[in-house]
Structures are given as structure tokens and as C-alpha cells.
């Protein structure tokens, strides 16, 4: 029997990408897609590329509908804004057997990962695969957090992480559909801008993951912590590319082995022996990593599609693990390499 899926917040970018993936997922049926502002409309009126793919309509999140919907599904994806996921969980009594995968940041930090009887597991398969497989609730990682961690986890696992200086660049979809000066085409086209220098909210979950592997990392605040990360707004719609610089005494051979071993059995994440570029991973669920060594200096590049490995793709990967099916099911996506 197929996994019965409900999507809450289906009109945004992550809800749309999730729908695109699940419509072609061989082990899933989408039972409902909720959207307050679009209830009653066809999905393809909002996601116009879905024209011809599905006749599903957005549901109205009325109390009655909810009860009916929430009972009939196996898993609910929350694709709502930060803060909205916690509210949804507070306001809705979900049947115990319904699993939840939340794409917001509301339950990612362990101290805030509980609600009612539910405990959320941080859903980075490369870090927590066993726990995900038995979890009922997943806090899906942030996009920058995913790309940043995947470049650093093997070093934390070896206990060799010191100060890290990173710069990342993200496509416009990372900021959602909202309107602002920086989302306007006339502003963003051919432009670059830094924002939230050293204070990006995803750093909290990255610190948490690094300390899980290297508990000696003491501070984890913006002012004193070892993570120095500056994100940039990029002149493209999809993808995240991060360069991290740090001191490291391991040889290139040792580093390659560390990374190779750490990502063994992780089908989406691997270290390339060649120069990587962002477009290698666009429209896929992959993370590619490149290592460079100059003297004692180590440079790590990592790249993901922010909407897939950084959001909806990883959410489906988590669902696959939770339901005991192959991790890559429905995620063998044709790259949009050009």
C-alpha cells in the first residue's frame, strides 16, 4: 500500500517542489494539499507547470476537513513559515500514528524539539540516519545549514575542527515568494549583497550537529563561536554554494579518506575529485563537496540545490527512511545541468 501524504502549506516554493517530487514518487499518494489562501483552486493555478500533471485542488483547512484529512494519512509535511509550524502543532491534535516532517526551523534545536507527546529528530540523514529510520517526527534541516554541515561533519567526527571562515551564496528561492526590494528582478539581476553577516539563524543547528560529533567545541554563539559565516544573495534562483576555510594538519589523503568513509552509504553526498560547480547539483537531491589543501590551509567547497537537498528533497529522503523504503526512491531526478 502506498504512503498516504498530506501537505500543509502547499502554495510556496517548498510545498511546490514537494508536490512535484511526490506526484512522480512510486510509493506515495498525495491525499491533500492545504493552503489557506488558495483553498479551492487547482494546484496548477498556483504551480502552473503542473498543468496536465494533476487535477488536485488545494483543500480548505477547516476543522472538519482537517479531522478527516489528518486521520486518513500516514505522514504530514509542514511547509509553512517559521513559527507557523509550532502553531499548527499546538492547534491541531494529530492522530498518534500520523508522522510529521516539518520543513521550518521550529523544532530543529533539541531544547525546543518537543510538543505534546512528540519529539522531533533532526533530519540530516548523513548524521542521524538510524534515528530518522525509527522517528515519528522530523525537523528537516535548513538549506544553508545542510550545505555548511555536509562540508564540515567528517572533520568534526575526527575531532579536528577549529575556527572556520565560510562564505555562502544562495539563489532567490531561498528567500521565499514574498515581495521585497531584494526579491525584485531589477534589483537582484547582476547583483550581489551580503546579509546577516555572522548572524545567520542556521548557525544554531550547525553548531548543534558539530558538537554532536565533536563535543569539545565550547562556544556556539555568534560572537565567540568557531563558525564565521557570511551569506550572500546571489544572481540566480536555485542553489547554494559555500566555501569554508580553516587550518588543518591532516594530509589530503587523510582528508579524502575521512570524507569518503563518513559519506559511505550516503547516496546523495560525495566528494568530487574534480572542480565542482553549482550547476552539477541543480534540480537534484545531491550535495557535492570539493577539498583543496595549500600548506596547512584547507578549503572546502560544497554545493546543493536549496529547494531539494536543502528542503523538499531531503524531506522526501527522510520520509523514505522513516517508511523503510530505499532512500533514493522518487529522488532520481534529472539534473537541469544547463
State yes or no: residue 201 binds its own copies (CB under 8 A).
no
- The span from the CA of 318 to the CA of 220, in Å, is 27
- The span from the CA of 236 to the CA of 190, in Å, is 9
Which of 37, 49, 264, 324 lies at the binding interface for its own copies (CB under 8 A)? 49
Site for its own copies in 79-138 (CB under 8 A): none
Which of 15, 20, 213, 311 lies at the binding interface for its own copies (CB under 8 A)? 20
For residue 64, the SS3 value is helix
Given 28, 79, 143, 287, the catalytic residue: 143
Site for its own copies in 248-277 (CB under 8 A): 267, 270, 272, 274-277
- The span from the CA of 50 to the CA of 144, in Å, is 28
CB 78 within 8 A of CB 57: no
- The span from the CA of 30 to the CA of 319, in Å, is 13
Told to judge if 143 belongs to the known catalytic residues of this protein, a careful annotator would answer yes
Contacts with 63 (C-beta within 8 Å, 6 or more apart), sequence order: none
Which of 210, 239, 255, 315 lies at the binding interface for its own copies (CB under 8 A)? 239
Which residue is it, cell 510556496? 12
Which of 36, 51, 87, 95 lies at the binding interface for its own copies (CB under 8 A)? 51
CB 314 within 8 A of CB 255: no
Instruction: Tell the smallest beta-carbon distance from residue 46 to its own copies (Å).
Output: 10
Q: Which is nearer to its own copies, 2 or 116 (CB)?
A: 2
Q: Which is nearer to its own copies, 135 or 142 (CB)?
A: 142
State yes or no: residue 238 binds its own copies (CB under 8 A).
yes
Pick the piece of the chain touching its own copies (CB under 8 A) from 89-97, 119-127, 223-231, 250-258.
Answer: 223-231
Amino acid at each position: 500500500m502506498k504512503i498516504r501524504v498530506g501537505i500543509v502549506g502547499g502554495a510556496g516554493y517548498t510545498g511546490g517542489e514537494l508536490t512535484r517530487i511526490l506526484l512522480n514518487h512510486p510509493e506515495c499518494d498525495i491525499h491533500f494539499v492545504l493552503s489557506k489562501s488558495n483553498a479551492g483552486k487547482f494546484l496548477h493555478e498556483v504551480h502552473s507547470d503542473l498543468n496536465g500533471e494533476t487535477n488536485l485542488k488545494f483543500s480548505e483547512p477547516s476543522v472538519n476537513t482537517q479531522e478527516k484529512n489528518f486521520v486518513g494519512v500516514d505522514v504530514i509535511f509542514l511547509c509553512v513559515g517559521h513559527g507557523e509550524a509550532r502553531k499548527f502543532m499546538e492547534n491541531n491534535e494529530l492522530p498518534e500514528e500520523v508522522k510529521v516532517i516539518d520543513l521550518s526551523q521550529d523544532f530543529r534545536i533539541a531544547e525546543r524539539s518537543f510538543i505534546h507527546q512528540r519529539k522531533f529528530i533532526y533530519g540530516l540523514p548523513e548524521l542521524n540516519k538510524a534515528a530518522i529510520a525509527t522517528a515519528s517526527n522530523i525537523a528537516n534541516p535548513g538549506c544553508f545549514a545542510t550545505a555548511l554541515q555536509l562540508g564540515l561533519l567528517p572533520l568534526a567526527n575526527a575531532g579536528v575542527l577549529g575556527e572556520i571562515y565560510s562564505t555562502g551564496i544562495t539563489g532567490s528561492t531561498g528567500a521565499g515568494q514574498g515581495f521585497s526590494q531584494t526579491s525584485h528582478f531589477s534589483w537582484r539581476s547582476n547583483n550581489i549583497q551580503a546579509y546577516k553577516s555572522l548572524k545567520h539563524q542556521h548557525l544554531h543547528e550547525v553548531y548543534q550537529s558539530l558538537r554532536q560529533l565533536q563535543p569539545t567545541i565550547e562556544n556556539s554563539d555568534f560572537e565567540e563561536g568557531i563558525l564565521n559565516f557570511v551569506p550572500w544573495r546571489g544572481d540566480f534562483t536555485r542553489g547554494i554554494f559555500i566555501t569554508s576555510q580553516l587550518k588543518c594538519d591532516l594530509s589530503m589523503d587523510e582528508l579524502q579518506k575521512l570524507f569518503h568513509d563518513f559519506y559511505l552509504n550516503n547516496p546523495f553526498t560525495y566528494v568530487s575529485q574534480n572542480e565542482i560547480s553549482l550547476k552539477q547539483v541543480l534540480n537534484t537531491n545531491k550535495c557535492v563537496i570539493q577539498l583543496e589543501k595549500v600548506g596547512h590551509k584547507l578549503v572546502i567547497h560544497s554545493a546543493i540545490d536549496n529547494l531539494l537537498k536543502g528542503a523538499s528533497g531531503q524531506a522526501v529522503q527522510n520520509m523514505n527512511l522513516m517508511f523503510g523504503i530505499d532512500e533514493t526512491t522518487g529522488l532520481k531526478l534529472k539534473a537541469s545541468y544547463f
